[in-house]
Amino acid sequence: MTDWHWLFGDQLGPHFLAPGTGGPTRDSQVVMIEARSVFRRRRFHRAKAHLVLSAMRHRAAELGGRVRYIRAETYREGLYEALGDASVTVHHPTSRAALGLVRSLEQVRLLPARGFLVPQEAFAAWADERGAGRLRQEDFYRWVRHALGLLVDGDSPAGGRWNHDHANRERPPRGASTLGAPEPYRPDEDDTHHIPRLMLLGSHALQRGWDPRQVTDWFHRCFVAGYDWVMLPNVTGMSQYADGGRMTTKPYTSGGAYIHRMSDLCEGCAYRPGDRAGDRACPFTTGYWSFAHRHRDLLAANQRTARAVQGLDRLGNLEEVLATDRRWDEEAP
């Protein structure tokens, strides 16, 4: 009897077909399914859709006669077209929707997730030890390094530091005309890295009070890295603070002065990072103070944001700042 293994479009690395307990085996045949319903469920950036489909088809070409590649309306229909009622294994998918689907199919046997350093059971045990308390990324990061012996010298971090967050708060060097690499210096697609994503796009959404679910969905659709395991912690948790602070210690937002200090993104802008009123007032600066005012009680109780609330009381023109900021409720900056 033929052993079949199902690969999703984000399970294309060689480790997803490496033999393991419960499957797949070296002789397992592979089924891959292009489901049109996936691209209808939410609007995709064209480049992201192209990359996913191209990656799947290239992987299928590498596997040659080992793969049965199906284009269908849905995964369920594609699986039936490929295998009928035959049994198939699949590694734990990376999205809730896909996980719910495979669990609903009697012919599918679910295997442990691959692609992560830590098994899900180990993470669950770590989280359970904390009960209803905090699940800080920094705490988990240190725990993993201890558990796996990564960049540690005994009980201490290699080099004497657990992280280099302090360096991330320093102003980057200016005046470098190139990065020592051939043009283009930035990727043509998906070139909005950590700072633009979180400190600009995410911060603006947080300040404006947009629905975190809709913001997360937008990131899902518009970025190549837009998958649940990336977007939920980075957008829902870190960027939008929509988990109530279980993962991070404070909302990830700032005024224009910080953005100007930490980047070159303010050069040529029509607004002035230091202005909080008037026609040239920076939308991030007015948005920051408006956000702090709106959530004064919550922020005052957090030692990492209490200073922002204290700053509110020293502004002297808070009502003017709030009035300036309200114009962005009606028009884009």
Provide the residue type at 216 as one letter.
Answer: T
Give residue 300's pLDDT: 95
Helix ranges (H only) for 162-280 are 165-168, 194, 203-208, 212-222, 228-231, 256-262
Report residue 220's pLDDT band, with 50, 70 and 90 as the boundaries: confident
The pLDDT mean for the chain works out to: 89
Q: Under CATH, domain 256-329 is a member of which superfamily?
A: Deoxyribodipyrimidine photolyase-related (1.10.10.1710)
Report residue 333's pLDDT band, with 50, 70 and 90 as the boundaries: confident
Give residue 199's pLDDT: 85
Any idea which of 75-84, 151-160, 220-229, 313-322 has the lowest mean pLDDT?
A: 220-229
What is the mean pLDDT of the segment spanning 165-177? 66
- Do the Cβ atoms of 305 and 315 come closer than 8 Å? no
What is the mean pLDDT of the segment spanning 266-292? 95
Report residue 330's pLDDT band, with 50, 70 and 90 as the boundaries: confident
Residue with the larger pLDDT of the pair 223 and 168: 223
**Alpha carbon separation from 221 to 43, 55, 183, 217, 239 (Å, rounded):** 6, 17, 27, 6, 17
Half-sphere exposure in the Cβ direction for 183 (13 Å, CA):
1
CA dist 111 and 108 (Å) reads 9
- Of the ranges 168-177, 218-227, 309-318, the best mean pLDDT one: 309-318
Residue with the larger pLDDT of the pair 38 and 227: 38
Give residue 191's pLDDT: 57
What is the mean pLDDT of the segment spanning 306-316? 92
Q: What percent of the chain has pLDDT over 90?
A: 65
- Cα of first residue to Cα of last residue in the chain, in angstroms, is 63
Rounded to two decimals, the pTM is 0.80
Class of domain 4-111: alpha beta
Domain with CATH 1.10.10.1710 in the chain: 256-329
Domain with CATH 3.40.50.620 in the chain: 4-111
Any idea which of 137-146, 225-234, 279-288 has the lowest mean pLDDT?
A: 225-234
- The length of the chain in residues reads 333
**Number of helices (H), then strands (E), in the chain:** 16, 7
CA dist 105 and 79 (Å) reads 10
Q: Which residues contact 266 (CB under 8 A, 6 or more apart)?
A: 256, 259, 260, 273
pLDDT in tens, 44-67: 888 888 999 999 999 999 999 999
Indicate whether 32 pLDDT > 70: yes
Bridge partner list, 72: 35
Give residue 186's pLDDT: 43
| Residue 80 burial (10 A CB sphere; 0-12, 13-18, 19+) | middle
